[in-house]
Chain A
Amino acid sequence: MEKKTGLIQFLSEWKCVDDQPDHNRRLHYSRFALSPLLVDQAMTIGVAIRRALLSEVEGISIISANIVGAVHEYSTLDGVRESVDEILLNLKQIVIKGAKGASITPLDHKEYRASIFAQGPGVVTAEHIKFPSSILAVDPDQSIATLLNETQLCIELFIRQGIAKQLTRTKKNHQGFFIDANFTPVQKANFSIHSVGDPKGLQQLLLLEIWTNKTLTPAEALYQAHASLLNLFHQISPPLLHKELSPSKNILNQNSDSNSLGGSSFGRVVSLETRRDSTQTNNSSIPKEIQPSVRLKSYTDTNLSIDKQMNDSVNKENLSIDELELSPRISNCLKKANINTIADLLNYTQEDLLKIKNFGRKSVEQVSLVLRKRFNMELLPTK
């Protein structure tokens, strides 16, 4: 596992510092270190990785169960100590992992089937689940139900992979009883930043602690988090700067913050703090700024609140001419001529405007100046 962060001249590398696989039956703890990093890079990576670890790492869980003999979830079975609902809650807790050698690739949304056939007396545990060869239970002692005498318990299980964000809450299209599974293999993640190296403090060390429920090892989780982050950034990477988009270069420089994480050539211009500040100011000042819709579209995925801006730019032409902040005389003239929106205004040529009463060449110049400056639009001189 390695990560190349943009412009850094030297290679930084993840190192596993501490690994406690048997911290607990269902807890695997590891600590990783990443160094050396430039000042403030550690924060960028740490936050991103922690958030990705917590939200985007895939888990594998039982999503529904078919219990033979149970009419509904809230019934009890003869000879079984737990009610059906309690069994389902126990099944929800079962931690599953991929078997050694079997590859469970991320985003492989295959549905697995498993089953339990057990006869009492005794406690049915995760050990009694018959899994397909590619998966197995992490903790075979996790109890599911307690059977008495010769009671038989047959459960059919449906298992799937998923991530926390795609919780399937629809109860339809499921065989058996629905278990709203938790796909969160990473229990906890934490990072800390330490300065290392020479006293000038130019280098940082990122320590990352990960606790997983053993569905994945922390190293695998880290890999997945990486992969999903890379995937994300890859998807949203801005198109290379082409000639026809040249005006946008200007804008890009102004708002370079929004894609500095994208690793483009404008990357490390702005430091992390200013980035945050500027996003905030950016948000508030956006309606006044012109953003060509082509560029904006590529940003809509980044979860920055740009949807609103886009709508604004689409509606820009519906803006009132008051937005141009023209002098009262000019705007009154325009309104008298029934030019109320910018769209109306664009229907007119400069020549047409001159025909309006009390509207001289100077006024036309002013209007076209403002249009060019604020909205990057031009009035045609003549038809």
Chain B
Amino acid sequence: MEMNMFILPDFLQIQIESFRRFLHNCIFEELSKFPIIYDSNQGIEFKLIPEKYLLTEPLFTEREAVYKFTTYSSDLYVPIQLTLTKEKKSRIQTVCLGSLPLMTPQGTFVINGVSWTIVNQILRNPGIYYVLNRNGMYTATILCLDVDKRLRLEIDKKGRLSVRINNRHKIPLVFLLIALGLDINDIPDWLQSRTKKLEDLLSGLKNEGERTLELIALYKQLPGPKKVKPKANPLIISEQIQQWCAQVYKLGTSGRLNLNRRLNLNFSKSNDSLLPQDLIAAAELLVKMSLLHPGPKGGKDSSDDIDHLKNKHVISVAEMLRKQLSLCLIDLQIQVRRAIRRGISSKRILSPRSMMISRPLTQMFNQFFGSHELIQFLDQTNPLAEMAHKRKLSLLGPGGLTRRTASFRTRDIHPSHYGRICTIETSEGMNAGVIPSLSICARVDSEGVIENPLHKIGGNIKEQYTVYVRAGRDERLKIGTNNCLAIGQKGQERSTSTQYQQEFVSMSWDQINLRSILPIQYFAIGASLIPFLEHNDATRTLMGSSMQRQAVPLVKPEKSIVGTGIEAHISLDSGTVLISLKDGKIKYVDGKQIVLVDKDNVQQKFNLITYERSNNGTCIHQRPTVKIGFSVRKGQLLADGSATVGGELALGKNVLVAYMPWEGYNFEDAVLISDRLVNEDIYTSIHIQRYEISVQENIEGFDIITREIPHVDKYLLRHLDYRGIIKIGAWVEPGDVLVGKLAPLEAPHLLRSPEGKLLQAIFGVQAITTRESCLKLPAGGTGRVIDVRWIEQQGPSGVSSLHVYILQKRKIQVGDKVAGRHGNKGVVSRILPREDMPYMQDGTPIDMVLSPLGVPSRMNVGQLFECLLGLAGSYLNNHYRIMPFDERFEREASRKLVFSELYKARKFTGYPWLFEPNSPGKSSLFDGRTGEIFEQSITVGKAYMMKLIHMVDEKIHARSSGPYALVTQQPLRGRSNKGGQRVGEMEVWAFEGFGAAYMLQEILTIKSDHVKGRSQVRGAIVAKESIPKPIDPPDCFRLLIRELRCLGIEIKHTIISEKNFFLDQKPI
């Protein structure tokens, strides 16, 4: 576990390594566990030959799978030996167990044409944990392999021991031990004496009948569904309990090790289930601990830290798939046993292939990939998002926490997280802390423990090397944190802050054995892309890292002037760029493919992705970076993906920003931009939308796709070809028909229709009428049709569907969200012509005006350093890659660097205003409208700003009338179904407060659920009459009445005449 030089690990390692392990080890291991099935009656032996399992090569590549909307998978074949022992004949046949989805080189799975990723789960290790509970008493929780099943040993104030099963049933410990088969004499006396109502229990146990009953009760309390019913025999039931416990309370190897270590036992690893001896030892320790430290105040807390990473492990792809495989093989066992039995009865000759009717694997994995909580739709907004998603960890999921129950402590960062789990990058809101990310240098070993690389310091340089340290192991080590490098500080004390036993202490360099490798080692990839990160508040850095994942790839991407230097690593590992697989020479390059010839004259073709849709609707497009005749080395960049330039991540654009108020247009984080950003396609992005229609067969017949659609405006059909499908390259607008489809009309419906009746009366034939069910472009879908695909679904359903891909080019507009990398986000409030923008002293108009009030309270000062250094870089034609925490070199290093670069720029360009000693980093701006100097000097710089995926085009919405909910008759909710805006309780108060009674009535009746009223209103508007007032109650009142009627309360509206007491009843 040592290396001489440290190289940043492959960021996809966590996914790909794990899957490799699954393919190479786990499949074999699981298949070897398959027992030899022997039927003695017939003398049939069924045996897998696991050494010779085969995986077929996938039928098509992962890109073809995406294109064809199928699953990227390979079939698993296992040879099976069937021996007829009587006849001494044996037969080997290779049988397909089903198809297994494969991981693509990008670390994703393609299921039905869609990329999915498996998020790694963090679970607690099996073992025993002593924890102080709220009452100040110690409890010992025993976690098992199956995380749902847990036992808790408790001790009460009188020192009596009991066991809680599944957080619910509490029984005396002695009773459980007896039930597990221990004789009462084997149980030590101290344990017996610590039992509540021992006499009763013992006397009860002596009575056989009572004992049986108790045992049955206990058996029922044990977790899990039991197939075997408890027998009313004390011996058998006791055995059943033992069996069940051994099955349920499985500790696994690591759990056994943990128990051995904690309780000073030494059972062998093979004893992987819970033993009564464990319980006794655990109880002993528990008693000792509670005697030593009664109550929380007593001395040092010797309880275990459940949030410590050493007590947790990562469940990665391999473990998840392995579990499915083992479940599937259990199914197979049952299937084979049944088949053998059936085979015997039917007297047929058995062959291994005939015994397997279904393909268990296919079904199981389909179900797994369709329903598992941690298999997530891959976030493909940009390469960073993709990568970050694959490196996410989750505390949620089966056996894990739930969002609501997760406590603050588990969400919080822990000293053991340093260098392993990112301390800042997590999602905001509900999932805060429960979905963290893996730090950049960390790796997960085969046991699921997260390791952190550290640099070993020795006196001799040759003795220095990198070690990977597991969580928990580093606590006894003294780890220098690189906070302060003792450069040029000879006379002074060479001390630095050091990580030691979960604390940061100051220590001199001589005492330190290890040091961290990178200052950004503690952060995940998103956060480590932020320059001058150390000057930012953690919350804003968190936002910055999560917003980078939302940046839209732009038409003309641009590298950041100021970066941290890991941009290239991220884009190279993300798999969105094309990389040469071997040395060679470029023979051919065009927009579609690159041909490489290696030294053996073997051609290798690389197909480029052109304008494909990503999961998030952004565009994936590769641009070649090599030219014909170039010699390339293995691993060299051949083509850039979307949002990369020269192999470096390029999520945004360097734009000239100024921090100043401008006529209130940057109030509340709004952002004012110049029309240059619109006209010169600076923030133009490409979005591809997919529209689907399926062609089905029902009782009446097939759907027809045709060009001849009756009663539809010819203009809307103008782009259809002779088949009735839109032509590729057509410019379509909302309402246009994309696919002309006629669905057959139901027969009974036909008969009732007047024309049907007429036709039948005259000709005696039934009219075959069809209903128009075209695919029309919804509002906001204007764009260019770039592809139409027929997708034939496999299987008996015979449903095929048509997919139409429409590309939109979106320029930046008012309402779009833009953000920098420091959590400085805003919405475009206005687009000014460039002559109106404030301009610098050389006449350059500002591109973007940000609010100065967005800095102080948010404490993200890094944006100022970035923008000033960017300004210097733009004049000096320099790009800077600055590792954060440059303050470790000297005090105020960032400031010094920025100012010196600005000074250089000033000297280089001869513009004195670039660096004014009186107001460094600020200069005077002129108002473009008046030519006047603004009163104060203003911070101007080049900041790297991104356009985020939250764009108005996808959010803007208005409704005049539209669909209504069936039950309440109120307008539907949400933009997707053209819904209305709810006027809620508080909004009603506002109307009441202003006394706008008529408006309120209008809103609550005719604009909402007054069915009659709203149709009258339409008539009135058309006829230009005055709007009628609703008389009867709206529908929600009727709903109320009906619901009351369901409860048996009748409400009637009755008027009693004053004169003759005549009752005038009205139905409601």
Q: Is the CB of A43 within 8 A of B931?
A: yes
B844 contacts partner chain A, Cβ-Cβ < 8 Å: yes
Contact A81/B589 with A43-B931, A76-B610, A276-B930 known, Cβ cut-off 8 Å:
yes
A-contacting residues, B776-816, CB 8 Å: 784-786, 807
| Proximity bits, A72-114, B CB within 8 Å = 1, else 0 | 1111111111110110010010000000000000000000000
B425: min CB distance to chain A, Å: 34
* A211 to B, closest residue via Cβ: B843
Q: Is the CB of A171 within 8 A of B731?
A: yes
Q: Which residue of A lies closest to B932 (CB)?
A: A43
In the complex, A85→B808 CA distance in Å? 12
Contact B591 A80 (CB under 8 A): yes
Q: Mark B842-880, 1 if CB is under 8 A from A, else 0.
A: 111100000000000000000000000000000000000
Nearest CB of B to A190, in Å: 3
Q: Are A82 and B591 in contact (CB under 8 A)?
A: yes
With A54-B834, A89-B555 already in contact, the answer to whether A148 and B589 are too (CB < 8 A) is yes
**Does the CB pair B843–A188 fall under 8 Å?**
yes
Knowing A72-B786, A184-B679 touch, does A83 contact B835 (C-beta < 8 A)? Answer: no
CA distance A75 to B592 in the complex (A): 9
**A182 B680 Cβ-Cβ under 8 A:** yes
| Interfacial chain B residues near A47, Cβ < 8 Å | 929-931
Closest Cβ neighbor of A48 among chain B residues: B931
* Contact of A76 with B834 at beta-carbon distance under 8 Å, contacts A83-B621, A190-B843 already known: no
**Residues from chain B with Cβ under 8 Å of A46 in the complex:** 931
In the assembled complex, which residues on chain B have CB atoms less than 8 Å from the CB atom of A121? 628
- Nearest B-chain residue to A149, judged by Cβ: B588
CB under 8 Å from chain B, chain A span 174-193: 180, 182, 184, 188-191
Q: B844–A51 contact, CB under 8 A? A: no
**Could you tell me the distance between the alpha carbons of A54 and B844 in the complex, rounded to whole angstroms?**
11
CA of A54 to CA of B624 in the docked complex: distance in angstroms? Answer: 37
Q: Which residues of B contact A320 (CB under 8 A)?
A: none
B681 on the A face (CB < 8 A):
yes
Check A73–B784 contact: CB distance below 8 A.
Answer: yes
- Taking CB atoms, residues of chain B closer than 8 Å to A83 are 591, 610-611, 621, 623
Complex Cα distance, B684 from A180, in Å, reads 12
Decide if the interface of chain B is mainly helix, strand, loop or mixed.
loop
In the complex, A74 Cα to B588 Cα: how many Å? Answer: 21
Q: A81-B590, A89-B681, A167-B679 are in contact. Are A190 and B610 (CB under 8 A)?
A: no
State the CA gap A72–B144 with chains docked (Å).
Answer: 60
- Is B343 an interface residue when CB atoms closer than 8 A count as contact? no
Contact (Cβ within 8 A) A74 B679: no
Q: Mark A37-74, 1 if CB is under 8 A from B, else 0.
A: 00000010011001100110000000000000001111
Say if the beta carbon of A209 comes within 8 Å of chain B: yes
User: How far apart are the CA atoms of A74 and B958 in the complex, in Å?
Assistant: 32
**B782 → chain A closest CB, angstroms:** 9
| CB pair B623 A86 closer than 8 Å | yes
Q: Which residue of B627, B729, B928 is within 8 Å of A72 (Cβ)?
A: B729
Total residues of chain B contacting the partner, CB 8 A: 39
Using a CB-CB cutoff of 8 Å, which residues 154-211 of chain A contact chain B? 164-165, 167, 171, 180, 182, 184, 188-191, 209, 211
| Given contact pairs A50-B931, A81-B624, A209-B843, A74 touches B591 in the complex (Cβ within 8 A) | no
How does the 8 Å CB contact mask read for B585-599 relative to A, with 1 for contact and 0 for none? 000111110000000
How close is B92's CB to chain A, nearest CB, in angstroms?
51
Name the contact of B590 in the complex, choosing from A51, A75, A79, A190 (C-beta under 8 A). A79
Task: Give a binary string over B525-557; 1 marks a CB under 8 Å from any A CB, 0 the rest.
Answer: 000000000000000000000000000000110
Contact, CB under 8 Å: B628 / A189 = no
Residues of A with C-beta under 8 A to B845: 54, 188
Contact across chains for B679 and A51 when beta carbons are under 8 A apart: no
Which residues in A have their C-beta under 8 angstroms from that of B929? 47, 51
Alpha-carbon gap, A79 to B929, bound state (A): 50
Tell me the smallest distance from the CB of B475 to a CB of chain A, in Å: 55
CB-CB under 8 A from B556, the residues of chain A are 89
How many angstroms from the CA of A74 to the CA of B728 in the assembled complex?
A: 11
Interface centre among B611, B842, B929, B930 (most CB of A within 10 A): B611
Cβ contacts B903-916/A at 8 Å (1 or 0 each): 00000000000000
Q: Are A188 and B930 in contact (CB under 8 A)?
A: no
Which residue from chain B places its CB closest to the CB of A192 in the assembled complex? B841
Question: B701 at the A/B interface (Cβ < 8 Å)?
Answer: no
Q: Which residue of B lies closest to A82 (CB)?
A: B591
**Smallest CB separation, B447 vs chain A (Å):** 48
Q: With A and B bound together, what is the CA distance between A80 and B932 in angstroms? A: 50
CA distance A50 to B590 in the complex (A): 44
**In the assembly, what is the distance between CA of A47 and CA of B623, in Å?**
44
- Residue contact A78 to B592, C-beta cutoff 8 Å: yes
C-alpha spacing A191/B686, complex, angstroms:
38
Contact, CB under 8 Å: B784 / A72: yes
B931 touches A191 (CB 8 A): yes
Interface presence of B839 (CB below 8 A):
yes
- 0 or 1 for each of B253-272: is its CB under 8 Å from A? (1 = yes): 00000000000000000000
In angstroms, Cα B611 to Cα A71, docked, is: 14
A191 to B926, CA, bound (A): 10
Chain B residue, CB-CB nearest to A42: B931
- A79 contacts across to B, CB distance below 8 A: 590
A51 B928 Cβ-Cβ under 8 A:
yes
Contacts of B592 in A (CB 8 A): 76, 78
Contact yes or no, B843 A189, CB < 8 A: yes
Bound-state CA distance A76–B623 (Å) is: 11
Smallest CB-CB separation from A148: which chain B residue? B590
- In the bound complex, residues from chain A placing their C-beta under 8 Å from that of B624 are 81
Establish whether residues B807 and A74, one from each chain, have CB atoms under 8 Å apart when the complex forms: yes
CA distance A92 to B680 in the complex (A): 9
CB-CB under 8 A from A51, the residues of chain B are: 835, 928-929
Q: Which of B624, B928, B929, B931: most chain A CB closer than 10 A? A: B931
B833 is an interface residue with CB less than 8 A from chain A: yes
Bound-complex Cα distance A227 to B871 (A):
36
Which of the residues A50, A55, A92, A146 comes within 8 Å of B833, measured between beta carbons? Answer: A55
Q: Which residues of A contact B841 (CB under 8 A)?
A: 190
- Chain A residues near B928 (CB-CB < 8 A): 50-51
Residue of A nearest to B930 (CB): A47
Task: Report chain B residues within 8 Å CB of A86.
Answer: 623
| 6 A-B pairs with least C-beta separation | A190-B843, A76-B591, A72-B729, A47-B931, A54-B835, A71-B729
30 A-B residue contacts at CB 8 Å? A43-B932, A47-B929, A47-B930, A50-B835, A55-B834, A55-B835, A72-B784, A72-B785, A73-B784, A74-B611, A75-B610, A75-B611, A75-B786, A76-B591, A76-B610, A77-B591, A80-B590, A81-B590, A82-B623, A85-B555, A89-B555, A146-B627, A148-B588, A164-B833, A180-B679, A188-B843, A188-B844, A189-B843, A190-B841, A191-B843
A47-B931, A74-B807, A83-B623 known, 15 other contacts, Cβ within 8 Å: A50-B835, A54-B845, A72-B729, A72-B784, A75-B611, A76-B592, A76-B610, A77-B591, A80-B591, A81-B590, A81-B591, A82-B623, A83-B610, A121-B628, A188-B843
